Amino acid sequence: MGEALALQAVEKGIEIVAHDPKAEPGPATSILPADSIRSLVDQLPTPRVVFVSVPQGDPTQQVVHALSEAMVAGDVIIEGGNSHWQDSVRRFGELAQRGIHFLDCGTSGGVSGARHGACFMVGGTDEAFSIVEPILGALATPEGLLHVGSTGSGHFVKLIHNMIEFGMVQSIGEGVELLDSSEYELDLVSLFHNWNHGSVIRGWLVELMEQGFKDYGDLSSVQPCVEDTGEQVWGVQYAMDNHVPIPMLAQAVWGFYQSRDRTQEWEKTVSVLRHLYGGHPLGQT
């Protein structure tokens, strides 16, 4: 995701310095490499703006801590991963003691969105948002940038976005299960193409499912296990803590777990969709 955002940025005239300790040599670009976080910070003009795109949890904590040691008051850290919103509130407080701005930025649109125009939902102060608005605005799809509210709100609404996403993907998967069990010889590529032209359920996920059937045929080569990143549990826990009934969304989460030892078509469908929109690992036999 971070690489795709960086490539989009340089195409739009934004000077990018990037650090990725796991990066492998690739085609030459105008992205300036940094061999350490300190080197990255030292190459940036002030006020420095750093977009963090690493897995939530310890990797994010380690990167944010290293940045806090290298940056100064007035600089901005944009945390664009899927962190728990309460972790973002904590990081904001810690960085505020140093005068460093922190924005929690829910980022959606998959790898394709990052490359060509993403959706950003940002939590944090007005002052910090005003500094980064021109940059995020350039990287967002039209109407795709929103300052949601105070610190933590960006990552909170991204979590709810992801829960809705899981429910939608689960519904498509179960629909494919019904189609597969029918007596009819169905061309599912053509069917999903048809559904994406004027039907009530048209949309990007239906478009991706059409592509999935083109790429993987009847899905017989796809392992049914649905990879997940764990944050869906936070949504269920929040609902339980606040007595909010979410039967459909919770069932989608249980479906993730069910997929680990079963072989149904809906599980293969969900696995393919998550691979196509988010680059999540896809096992094939």
Calculate ∠ Cα 240-241-243, nearest 5°.
60
- For the range 205-212, what are the long-range contacts, defined as Cβ-Cβ under 8 Å and sequence gap of 24 or more? 205/168, 205/169, 205/172, 205/273, 205/277, 206/172, 208/273, 208/276, 208/277, 209/172, 209/176, 209/269, 209/272, 209/273, 211/276, 212/269, 212/272, 212/273, 212/276
What is the C-alpha to C-alpha distance for residues 281 and 272, in angstroms, rounded to an integer? 9
Structure tokens, 64: 């944010």
Is 158 an annotated catalytic residue? Answer: yes
Task: Count CB-CB contacts under 10 A for residue 257.
Answer: 10
Residue type, 81: G
What is the C-alpha to C-alpha distance for residues 178 and 48, in angstroms, rounded to an integer? 53
Contact, 55 vs 229, CB < 8 A? yes
Is 79 an annotated catalytic residue? Answer: no
Alpha carbon 183 to its chain's center: 38
Task: Count CB-CB contacts under 10 A for residue 281.
Answer: 10
Closest CA to 234 of 65, 80, 87: 87
Task: Count CB-CB contacts under 10 A for residue 185.
Answer: 5
- 223 φ, ψ to 5°? -70, 140
Name the active-site residue from 3, 127, 133, 165: 165
Name the active-site residue from 158, 210, 231, 267: 158
List the catalytic residues.
Answer: 158, 165
